[in-house]
Amino acid sequence: MRGRISSFSPNRGDGMFSSAEGDFYFHCVVIADGSRTIDIGIEAQATRAVGHLGRDEVANVKPLA
């Protein structure tokens, strides 16, 4: 799915991905390029997945810019 990075905290290593399907949590280890950081506001692509605690999250977050 496509969306935008609506928030990201480099100190905590987590953020939120916003798309037409809703807002989803992600952790920095799922950023596809391995950088463990991503800019707020950029367009990205991600895969919806079930997280560690059974919540909807995204994985394989790829910046499109």
pLDDT per position as a tens digit, 15-64: 999 999 999 999 999 999 999 999 999 999 999 999 888 999 999 999 99
Global confidence as pTM:
0.92
Question: Please, which residues have CB within 8 angstroms of residue 23's CB and are 6 or more apart in sequence?
Answer: 6, 16, 17
| CATH value of 2-63 in 2.40.50.140, 3.10.290.10, 3.40.50.1100, 3.40.50.920 | 2.40.50.140
DSSP-assigned beta bridge partners for residue 19: 3, 22
